[in-house]
Structure 1
């Protein structure tokens, strides 16, 4: 066993409290199921698109419906990208706010490492993409495609190869993905908004404000909140800002903690936990898999088609950004944080573990496909789909190799982290030191 980190030094990675570990474990279990469904949806789309019924798949994606007067006569694929993903981003907004109010990100010292890692994992892939595609007309619009991490896809891979991954690494991966989502939301809002219409955007503030007042007063009535949320979404969509941003704003409006009354009990879980419990299964089990099915289908065109795709600098830029840029950015940012803060890794963990996790973060799917559609237009992003799929699969395979090398160590850590000798429902390692728990 490696020597424990000095108690006088901050830990670069640690498992946190039992309450936080239990909450994160519950989230990861739900996202893992969602990740499996996402993979099923993506595989079904690819098989469908390359089958004799490929034309039927395109016809399905292009079916249009919705009220034209409200600018909502959209194709099924657009409804999935703008509508269903709004649910995904609503849950992301809830999780983001919770992390900053009551989770790891409320502590500046603990938040610094995943925030720096996430920013490194955004900046380096974008720079590599721009370097590879320099001089290619119009290619620069896709710079943000390789910057996103798909936590559901990554967890589906972990479910197969890393069931015993230590809590500290799982917590780091989830927190990094949360920050990554925040950066992706900002990128979509700032860089992929065209023909901004201020009037609908300002009008969206009215239903959003009423929604905020109601949830702050702990109103849960769906017949009040759902129409307000739909109106906010429709007005943001009409403004030219991508409609998924409305989901994030609605998530930010929901209180994380109960208000603490004078002389009353301490503040506890607020309405955000209730909404997350209700909407995360819808997001992970319906919204994201449906989006994957309607977005991932790409006609590969055999070996000639794939060869043509990989001669496209955009494809190389996206794939290299995901497979190479992500781990370089995350590892570099984390190493710099360790050097300048004099922090140590958690005991038993090494930089090989961080490398495996950084490679795993190169799995970009849901948001990468969405940004590809925004950058190049629906129907003009076929090569982007090839790049995202190939880059994500390559990252998954490389991460599998690295993390499997440490599986024996992870099993031993898992045994320590789950041991409960006194059977009080709380693992001993959260009540005493790891060394003492290991000696029991």
Structure 2
């Protein structure tokens, strides 16, 4: 019997929408559309409405137990905590039973990710070392937007070797882990030890749930909300509550699981449930709220200022330089091997795609720069670099990767 909800039974418009969301590139395309809409809104007669949306005051809670913030901060502190929850779930799964589980699988992406952080940071520092305010954003060009990068890679279809996609995904996971550490160490301020103490109590409660093999998700999620409030009040950035919650969700490895547990791994259940919401709602909303750069009055010389130029060159040049040089050295000395179907030219294209910073770079910039002029300059560098990296990476890989059938992959 045919399912009435299968694409053939849906109206044509809905059928097209379902087919779009089945595309591997859909997440990246959605981000591009969200950023484009933000730029249009910020540079049109709707500018005031766009700013009103970003600054709309929203209060959640009752009496003294209420949190009031502009909508922009609810997005950056609240919705992005859910994004980092998903990142933590992916890191934990990959560490326990995936691409990060073994030393041989981990060494190449770990080295590439580290080099892809260090070299862009050095390039940024070379341009901005004399400006203390600008140097707060040294980490902006170190990030990679995995959804955008994989979206561009997916546009190449069957040309892309499976090993290349896995290497890009694994580098991005390690890159996200480094970004989490950077945020925790460099972008937290005004610590409240009372709130941190309460957060520690909540974490212990989550750990005890795991020790007693509680597999129901709701206790972890409820405690995760409490943890988010504690971390928000502590001075540590609130998104780290999402990271901590994700790392506490139990993972049942199917190779060692009791049969009744195989279909009830809380980590995989939550990861699968969150993925479409993050890809098609949370990240596009974040991009729409943060990418609205006002272009009126800008001149070409603005893009050549030290701050946006340091970010742009860090992403466009620093990322591929760091990744390619380290990977080729490790390959030559025999410490690691490139995935099957990849050579130096394919590795170069992969490195260029890692220069798509976009949402992760925008997020770090929002933490680093509270001065609107500095933030707008950083957005200019991020958007320009992300577009250039995407276009060059796609064109380069299309030229160097041979066409092949799905069976050849």
TM range (shorter): 0.7 to 0.9
Q: How big is the shift at 1:195?
A: 0.8
Corresponding residue for residue 42 of structure 1: 35
User: What does residue 396 of structure 1 align with?
Assistant: 390
Partner of 1:118 in structure 2?
Answer: 113
- For residues 349 and 177 of structure 1, what CA distance do their matches in structure 2 show? 18
Distance 2:319 2:86 in 1: 24
Higher mean displacement: 360-369 or 67-76: 67-76
Instruction: Select the residue among 148, 162, 183 that pairs with 1:167.
Output: 162
**Residue 62 (structure 1) aligned with residue 65 (structure 2):** no
1:331 match: 324
For the residues of structure 2 that align with 1:206 and 1:378, how far apart are their CA atoms? Answer: 36
5+ residue gaps, structure 2, are 1-20
The residue that corresponds to 2:304 in the other structure is 311
- Contact 1:215 1:271 survives alignment (8 Å): no
Tell me, in whole angstroms, the C-alpha distance in 1 between the residues paired with 2:139 and 2:372.
18
| Cα pair distance change 1:234/1:379, threshold 3 Å | farther
Query: What is the CA–CA distance in structure 2 between the aligned matches of 1:92 and 1:156, rounded to whole Å?
Result: 17
Note closer, same or farther for the CA distance 1:152–1:62 as it changes in structure 2 (3 Å cut): same
Residues 37-186 of structure 1 mapped to structure 2, 5 A cutoff = 37-67=30-60, 69-70=64-65, 72-186=67-181
1:219 equivalent among 188, 212, 215: 215
Shift in CA distance, 348/154, structure 1 to aligned 2, threshold 3 Å: closer
1:365 counterpart residue number: 358
SS at match of 2:404: helix
Q: 1:258 to 1:397 in 2, by over 3 A?
A: closer
Task: Answer with 28-37 or 182-191: which moved more.
Answer: 28-37
| 1:106 partner SS | coil
Instruction: Give the alignment's TM-score, normalised by structure 1.
Output: 0.82
The question of whether the paired residues in 1 share the 8 Å contact of 2:37 and 2:288 is answered with yes
Q: Distance in 1 between matches of 2:336 and 2:144?
A: 25
2 CA distance for matches of 1:71 and 1:410?
Answer: 57
Would the alpha carbon gap of residues 95 and 157 (structure 1) be closer, same or farther in structure 2, given more than 3 Å must change?
same
Distance in structure 2 (CA, Å) of the matches to 1:229 and 1:265: 28
Deviation for aligned residue 1:362: 0.3
Find the aligned partners of 1:299 and 1:321 in 2 and give their Cα distance.
Answer: 23
CA contact (8 A) 1:31 1:284 kept: no
Per-residue deviation, residues 100-153 of structure 1 (Å, max 9, x unmatched): 110111110110000000000000000000001121241111100000000111
Conserved? CA contact 2:184–2:237, under 8 Å: yes
In the other structure, the counterpart of 1:386 is: 380
Structure 1 residues 369 and 404, CA, compared in 2 at 3 Å: closer, same or farther?
Answer: same
- Given that 1:102 and 1:256 are in contact with CA atoms closer than 8 Å, whether structure 2 keeps it comes out as no
Question: What is the total number of aligned residue pairs between the two structures?
Answer: 384
Deviation of residue 285 (structure 1)? 1.6
Kindly indicate whether the alpha-carbon contact (under 8 Å) linking 2:55 and 2:71 is maintained by their aligned counterparts in 1. Answer: yes
* TM, length-normalised to structure 2: 0.88
